Amino acid sequence: ACWLLIYDKERGTFKTNRRDRRFLPSVDGLVLPKLTGPMLEEIEIALRPTPAHEALAKGFGLTINRSDMSTLAENQWLNDEVINFYMNLLVERTKQNSYLPKLYAFNTFFFTKMAAEGHSAVRRWTRKVDLFFYDIVLVPLHFTMHWCLATVDFRKKHIAYYDSMDSNRERHNCLHKLQLYLEAESQDKRGHGLDWEPWKQQVISDLPQQHNGSDCGMFTCQYTECMSRDAMISFGQQHMPYFRKRVVYEILHGQLLPV
């Protein structure tokens, strides 16, 4: 079994979740919050298909209907609403925990519009946002029925691409377009460009990969969950049924389970 050892900045001490029954040890080194019987019952009810338009969760200007939630059932392809809601849950967690990286997440429609029409088409999307204030910017990507992810890390001066199928030929073009967008955004908001000399673009290799055609959205969500707290990406395909149930519960309750 594997247990987390966590440093408490305020007290200058370490604490462990070894005796915390909320956590379920795993033989492959990944520690996951346990889903109890009542939690699983609530999840099962939420995944019932009808009535399809019943609202199950609201927040961040979004509504998750039963039809949206049903995309979290096994072997289903996650839709925009679920991914956007989950990204907002990640952002909300970072707002409430100062030790986590400052996080901003674009919605799933941003990159498609920006890539096709340029910075001017999405200029108003950040009218009240200073992207350069954040540590990490998340950019969910949708390419022909496949979800993947790009990130901008202003701390490390790093633009990266994450793909659970490692198959998209547009990945380098994607990173280049994000760089062009950031340059235009800096010129527009700050009156000067970025110094690109120390920056790197990278397609991340050795990522856990999906073994089916339906889990790309869940892999994308879990890549972001790990990165949002600077954690190692250590899950695998075998964890996807668990993560699907867990995300149902987290959306229903409007907050992430503690890790």
What is the residue-level pLDDT of the chain in tens, covering all 259 positions? 334 445 455 665 555 544 444 444 443 456 789 999 999 999 999 999 999 999 999 999 999 999 999 999 999 999 999 999 999 999 999 999 999 999 999 999 999 999 999 999 999 999 999 999 999 999 999 988 899 999 999 999 999 999 999 776 677 789 999 999 999 999 999 999 999 999 999 999 889 999 999 999 999 999 999 999 999 998 999 999 999 999 999 999 999 999 8
Answer yes or no: are the C-beta atoms of 150 and 160 closer than 8 Å.
yes
Vertex 127 angle, CA 147 and 65, to 5°: 45
What pLDDT was estimated at residue 144?
A: 82
What pLDDT was estimated at residue 31?
A: 73
Based on the fold, state whether residues 16 and 104 are members of the same structural domain: no
What pLDDT was estimated at residue 171?
A: 76
Domain count across the chain: 2
Phi, psi of 216 (to 5 degrees): -60, -40
Catalytic residue ranges: 146, 163, 216
What pLDDT was estimated at residue 3?
A: 40
Q: Domain containing 2: what range?
A: 1-34
Based on the fold, state whether residues 92 and 53 are members of the same structural domain: yes
What pLDDT was estimated at residue 169?
A: 67
Based on the fold, state whether residues 12 and 55 are members of the same structural domain: no
Based on the fold, state whether residues 194 and 79 are members of the same structural domain: yes
What pLDDT was estimated at residue 32?
A: 87
Answer yes or no: are the C-beta atoms of 43 and 34 closer than 8 Å.
no
Residue 259 belongs to a domain: no
Which pTM value belongs to this model? 0.88
Based on the fold, state whether residues 122 and 215 are members of the same structural domain: yes
pLDDT tens readout for residues 51-69: 999 999 999 999 999 999 9
